[in-house]
Structure formats: structure tokens, C-alpha cells
Amino acid sequence: MIKNISKKKVLIKNAKFTKNTFSQGFGLMFKKKINYGLVFNFNIENIKSIHTCFMRFPIDLLFLNSNMNVTKVVRYAKPWTFSITGRGKYVIELPAGKSFNTAIGDKISFK
């Protein structure tokens, strides 16, 4: 489950987590549809670059710092976008529209 604690809103009930560098590189590529949020843990907080190549649908992206606060929100990132950058330790990919009114500074939790 991925929640916006600041807004007391469940963003999505199902969460999956990348387990290794391969799953981080693959992300949501080639999926036809998702009903979950995908959480990337990069272990180090710095600038991250995400792409949506080989994706079939738009997604929302949340970049989170090590305190689980949102540092950047990208809504409706279109397929075949080559470089979406933001600062964070975590990146969450959600189905488009699921970030609702999440804003920079909001605290997020996931499990």
C-alpha cells in the first residue's frame, strides 16, 4: 500500500518493489496495464533519471528523499519520454492519475 500521510489519502492499495539493478532498469517496460505502484529504492539520495521508453501508457512519478518526503511530482508522463530527472532516494511509478493532489513536501509511506 502506498499512502500520502500528509493528505491522509491512499494513493494505491498494491505496491511492488524492485529487487535488484535488473528490475530497476526494466521497471514497467512492456507492461500492458498496471494496478499497482512500483517502488524503486536507490539506497543513495541523489539525482535520478527515469525514462518511459517501451511503455504503453502514461504514469505518475513521485521522487522521495530519505525522509520519505516528496521532492518532485510528475503527472501523466507520456510513453517514450527519454529523461525525467528528480532528486531522491526513492522513486514511485503509479498509474496515471493516482498521485491525486500529492505535492512537494508531502510525506509518503509504503509497504
List residues bridging with 50 in a β-sheet: 84
List residues bridging with 85 in a β-sheet: 49
Q: Give the confidence band of 26 by pLDDT, cuts at 50, 70, 90.
A: low
Stretch 16-25: mean pLDDT: 82
Q: Does the predicted TM-score (pTM) go above 0.85?
A: yes
* CB-based contact 93:55 (threshold 8 Å): no
Cα separation, 78 vs 76, whole angstroms: 6
- Enumerate domains of the chain plus CATH numbers: 2-110 (2.60.120.1140)
Considering the chain, what is the average pLDDT of its residues? Answer: 93
pLDDT in tens, 57-108: 999 999 999 999 999 999 999 999 989 999 999 999 999 999 999 999 999 9
